[in-house]
């Protein structure tokens, strides 16, 4: 495994009392890069694998990270389940297709982590293939990724999960970036958008939301205009056009499927 890691075990000197928690499946292409970027930050990296069939588990085992296995419960529930295995209460939540840059790595080492009622928001650089998306939906992207599990936890949503912040919790910002290699190519992108659209339609239906022919027709158009023109997606060139079109496609499938579910429920109630 020296091909992936220069040292078999994680370095145990001057590290934060923070656990890094990752949930993944079939991420052999990304997980090695992710774990290498995290070395030297913490002595506790926990990776929950929920059924990988490629070399993901082999790469994790060779990194010195703790590999655990569990079933898929949906994004929010699975992340909470993974956090239970952490050594420390402070959690840095990462995805397998992400890596921290050097500025963020240094910032993480300097965090005080004394106030349990603080969470930390991190800026993202999102990539389509090797293209950094600076505008549109993916530009100026920030997410809360550092929290104390004694005060904060993920909601139970199956998709588009968020951290639930109790009253009194304050948000701070950390310098540096997480590089997010969200999709390799258009094929992966379209499959991901379809999967998320169908999941989100189910989520909307469960929460009592409704769709309509108006939404199915107009919402994708408004989505494209918003991200391609108002959010300056066109400045990202061809990649910006692809992203705006994919988001429009996602919006169409989401509301079309939601409308289908709504009609099915109405029929069953008659």
pLDDT at 5: 52
CA distance readout (Å), 193 to 79, 86, 211, 231 = 21, 31, 19, 20
| Dihedrals phi, psi of 257, to nearest 5 degrees | -70, -40
- Please report the sign of the dihedral spanned by the C-alpha atoms of residue 92, residue 35, residue 95, residue 127: positive
Asked if pLDDT for residue 33 goes beyond 90, the answer is yes
pTM for the predicted model, two decimal places? 0.90
Element (H, E) at 115: none
Asked if pLDDT for residue 9 goes beyond 60, the answer is no
Residue 1 CA to residue 8 CA, distance in Å, equals: 8
Asked if pLDDT for residue 48 goes beyond 60, the answer is yes
Asked if pLDDT for residue 185 goes beyond 50, the answer is yes
CA 110, chain centre distance (Å): 24
| Dihedrals phi, psi of 75, to nearest 5 degrees | -60, -55
Two tokens at 95?
């995805």
pLDDT at 264: 93
Asked if pLDDT for residue 239 goes beyond 90, the answer is yes
Residue 48 CA to residue 266 CA, distance in Å, equals: 40
Two tokens at 234?
């066109």
* C-beta of residue 152 within 8 angstroms of C-beta of residue 186: no
* CATH 3.90.550.10 in the chain, residue ranges: 19-183
Whether CATH 3.50.50.60 fits 19-183: no
Neighbour-count burial of 102, counting CB atoms closer than 10 A to its CB (0-12 exposed, 13-18 middle, 19+ buried):
exposed
- First-to-last alpha carbon distance for the chain, in angstroms, is 61
Asked if pLDDT for residue 52 goes beyond 80, the answer is yes
**Confidence band for 14, pLDDT divided at 50, 70 and 90:** low
Residues above pLDDT 90, as percent of the chain: 89
Q: Which residue has the higher pLDDT, 184 or 42?
A: 42
Asked if pLDDT for residue 12 goes beyond 90, the answer is no
pLDDT tens for each residue of 114-141: 999 999 999 999 999 999 999 999 999 9
pLDDT at 42: 96
Element (H, E) at 164: strand 163-164
Averaged over 245-261, what is the pLDDT? Answer: 98
Whose CA is closest to 79, among 176, 29, 145?
145
């Amino acid at each position: 495994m020296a091909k992936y890691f220069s040292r078999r075990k994680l370095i145990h000197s001057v590290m934060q009392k923070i656990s890094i928690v990752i949930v993944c499946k079939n991420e052999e292409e990304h997980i090695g890069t992710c774990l290498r970027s995290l070395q030297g930050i913490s002595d506790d990296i926990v990776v929950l694998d929920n059924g990988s069939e490629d070399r993901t588990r082999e790469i994790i085992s060779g990194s010195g990270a703790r590999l655990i296995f569990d079933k898929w419960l949906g994004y929010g529930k699975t992340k909470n389940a993974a956090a239970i295995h952490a050594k420390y209460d402070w959690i840095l939540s990462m995805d397998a297709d992400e890596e921290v840059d050097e500025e963020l790595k240094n910032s993480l080492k300097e965090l005080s982590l004394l106030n349990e009622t603080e969470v930390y928001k991190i800026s993202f650089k999102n990539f389509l293939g090797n293209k950094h998306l600076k505008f549109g939906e993916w530009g100026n992207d920030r997410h809360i990724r550092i929290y104390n599990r004694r005060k904060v936890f993920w909601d139970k949503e199956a998709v588009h999960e968020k951290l639930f912040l109790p009253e009194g919790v304050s948000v701070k910002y950390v310098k540096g970036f997480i590089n997010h290699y969200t999709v390799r190519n258009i094929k992966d992108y379209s499959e991901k958008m379809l999967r998320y659209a169908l999941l989100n339609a189910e989520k909307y239906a469960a929460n009592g939301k409704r769709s309509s022919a108006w939404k199915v027709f107009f919402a994708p158009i408004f989505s494209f205009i918003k991200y391609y023109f108002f959010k300056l997606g066109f400045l990202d060139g061809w990649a910006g056009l692809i992203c705006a079109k994919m988001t429009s496609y996602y919006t169409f499938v989401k509301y079309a499927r939601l409308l289908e579910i709504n009609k099915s429920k109405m029929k069953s109630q008659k």
